[in-house]
Amino acid sequence: MKKRKLTFGKRLKYLLEYAAFLLIVGCFRLVPESRLDSVSGVLARLTFDRLKFRRNIALANVATAFPEKSVQEQEAIARGSYQHFILMIMEVIKSIGWSRDRIEAVVEVPDYERVRKVGAKDGGAIIMTGHFGNWEVGVMRVTHNFWHEPFAIQQRQSNPYVDRSILRFRERLGAGLIYSRGSMRQGLAELKRGHALALLSDQDGGKRGVFVPFFGKMASTPIGSALLHLRSGKPIYFFSCVRLAPLKYRMDLEEIKVDTDGDVNEENLTKVTRESIATLEKYVRKYPSQYLWMHKRWKTPYTEE
């Protein structure tokens, strides 16, 4: 694809954004690891209580997911989610340059032998998760221990300088990067070579998604992981990386088993997607403050046919 030439105004805008991005990264790297929890708490209160960034969206989402909880409990979950996400960003920045030993030390895998055998036996696999726990650190653990040369599928950032910075970060982790637009062909090729594909599957899927229940409400959900599974015949797994304490996590891997005839059709895509999202919901119910409630999960309205 031919790159568009940036205008002077666009280039200046992107450079200023990139400078701000580097400033934030630099500031976060200066925070001692022992202070990450307290600093993220202060920033969360600022963002949630003062700036009120997407606060109404987060509160509405939590109320939809947990109508049985009191208003105070719902607010506590939403506020905790803000601190979790800010702490996650700080943790990821701190993780730049970590050694293999450090990654293994901070991310425990209780069922290590089973997961290791899964990676060795299956070769290519689809590893899906949602905006839950610390998915970035989880991918690092997968990269270093279980699958050879995994690839992460993600959207291209609009700012090309930030995008290149994220690409370099992925490469340092040992993971390749596949952009979501036009990812199907390359993804299938990598699966055929025995590589693993990691992707987030809980964004609003818009008109191209399929509607499946999420906390009792129908949500348009991307079909990418289900489509890769059906087209390749490779297994699909849900992985979680739950924070136990700052810079301390537990990773779990659970196979998504769905009885289908293997055909690529709407019924099978919906079945696989439904089971995947049900597995995500199971983990979110256990650790509700470790989910990113501020994104518009139920953006696309559902209408019964």
- Average pLDDT over the chain reads 89
What does the pLDDT average to over 7-31?
Answer: 90
pLDDT number for residue 4 = 60
Flag whether pLDDT at 6 surpasses 90.
no
Least-confidence region, from 44-48, 58-62, 184-188? 184-188
pLDDT number for residue 99 = 77
* Residue pair 228/124 in contact by the 8 Å Cβ criterion: no
Render the burial of 133-162: b for 16+ CB within 10 Å, e for the rest. bbbbbbbbbbbbbbbeebbbbbeebebbeb
Flag whether pLDDT at 237 surpasses 90.
yes
What does the pLDDT average to over 172-196?
Answer: 81
DSSP track, the chain: -PPPPPPHHHHHHHHHHHHHHHHHHHHHHHS-GGGHHHHHHHHHHIIIIII-TTHHHHHHHHHHH-TTS-HHHHHHHHHHHHHHHHHHHHHHHHHTT--HHHHHHHEE-TTHHHHHHHHHHH-SEEEEE-SBS-HHHHHHHHHHHTSSS-EEEEPPPSSHHHHHHHHHHHHHHT-EEEESTTHHHHHHHHHHTT-EEEEE--S--GGGSEEEEETTEEEEE--HHHHHHHHH---EEEEEEEEEETTEEEEEEEE------S--SHHHHHHHHHHHHHHHHHHHHHSGGGB-TTS-TT-SPP---
User: Model confidence over 87-138: pLDDT tens digits?
Assistant: 999 998 888 777 778 888 899 999 888 888 777 665 788 999 999 999 888 8
What does the pLDDT average to over 240-252?
Answer: 93
User: Model confidence over 135-182: pLDDT tens digits?
Assistant: 888 877 876 677 767 787 877 888 888 888 877 776 666 667 788 777
pLDDT number for residue 1 = 46
Owner of token pair 């289908």: 260
